Amino acid sequence: YTPLTLLRVAELAKAVGIPDGVINVVNGTGGEIAQRLMTHPACAKVSFTGSVATGEKVQQSACASGKRVTLELGGKNAALFLDDLTPEAMVNGIIEAGYLNQGQICAAAERFYLPQGKLDAVLALLKDKLSAFAPGSPLDEQTLMGPLANRQQYEKVLKLIQTARDEGDTIVCGGEALPGEGYFLQPTAVKVRSEESTLMREETFGPVCSFIGYRSEEEALARINASPYGLAASVWSDNIRQALRYSEAIDAGIVWVNMHTFLDPAVPFGGMKGSGIGREFGSAFIDDYTELKSVMVRY
């Protein structure tokens, strides 16, 4: 749901003097527009951002005509908090990693791994902090939590929260829709019963974060990597050397240390496993959008 964003990009391109026709924005449904683009002989490269199911269809259609493909698909991104941090520091990191833009960021963290001995204390403090996040209009500078993008996503998130209740997970805070106009949900924290909980496996793409304790970092790493996705992750610790060691062990296209969802045009971004193929940004991005050609001469 980004048509206005892309139309604005086209306006800015024209404003800075890029000739007409170099950048074209065509709005429409996937079946109406995307299928024609993917199969048109003049289109040499397809880049898709969206769900895993749709990404598989895009890949099949593009590959049938020999097109190169970049796929930035779903994820169930994890954040690992090491035991050297205080509960207060953990809560600040959780809010940054999981609730920015109501969780409507492909790289947002949704699975949170906390030391078992600090789990309840962190969740109690998080509950207090989130109670101040009164959802409101994004046009109001005082608003800390806006609405979900559309009714379809709003209803999906509510359904996942109800599934968590039905499966025996504990709703620590939030979990309800707000009355009135707009697709507003309370920021929600869920203490899950196990890795088998639906909230630990299915992408939410909303203000819902799932929490589980671990007894050793090695155990946490094994559980993080058991996911079929591998888009993004973060490790939080005051011991940078240790955090970097765990970052190397996580199967994800990008791993942040003591931050989350920070992108830099010089740093490649993209997923492993079911989260996609190819990269955006950095030199890898240029390679994906150009053809390598060799010319050999006898002289």
pLDDT tens digits, one per residue of 228-245? 999 999 999 999 999 999
Quick one: which H or E segment has residue 276? strand 276-277
Please give the average per-residue pLDDT across 96-120, as a whole number.
96
Residue partners of 181: CB distance under 8 A and separation at least 6: none
Give the pairing of strands 272-273 and 170-173: unpaired
Amino acid at 13: A
Residues 10, 11, 17, 18, Cα dihedral to 10°: 10
Of the residues 32, 56, 72, 176, only one is catalytic, namely 72
User: Do residues 38 and 48 lie in contact, with contact meaning Cβ atoms separated by under 8 Å?
Assistant: no
pLDDT category of residue 1 using cuts at 50, 70 and 90: low
The DSSP 8-state label assigned to residue 163 in this structure reads H
Quick one: which H or E segment has residue 69? strand 68-72
Considering the chain, what percentage of its residues have pLDDT values greater than 90?
70
Give the pairing of strands 170-173 and 188-191: antiparallel
Domains of the chain in sequence order: 3-73+266-288 (3.40.605.10), 77-257 (3.40.309.10)
Q: What is the mean pLDDT of the chain?
A: 93
Range of lowest pLDDT (17-26, 107-116, 254-263): 17-26
Strand order in the sheet with 77-81: 170-173, 188-191, 208-214, 109-115, 77-81, 232-236, 254-257
Separation of alpha carbons 208 and 189, rounded Å:
6
Task: Record the pTM.
Answer: 0.91
Q: What pLDDT shows up at residue 97?
A: 97
Separation of alpha carbons 210 and 170, rounded Å:
10
Q: Is position 72 annotated as part of the catalytic site?
A: yes
Q: What pLDDT shows up at residue 151?
A: 93
Residue partners of 64: CB distance under 8 A and separation at least 6: 39
Please give the average per-residue pLDDT across 218-234, as a whole number.
97
| Nearest C-alpha neighbor of 71 from the set 271, 282, 293, 281 | 271
Amino acid at 173: C
Separation of alpha carbons 175 and 208, rounded Å:
8
Range of lowest pLDDT (116-120, 137-141, 173-177, 240-244): 137-141
Helices 87-98, 119-130: axis angle to 10 degrees equals: 60
The DSSP 8-state label assigned to residue 172 in this structure reads E
Backbone dihedral region of 97: left (phi > 0), alpha (psi from -120 to 50 degrees) or beta? alpha
User: Which two three-digit tokens encode residue 275?
Assistant: 């989260």
CB atoms within 10 A of CB 107: 24
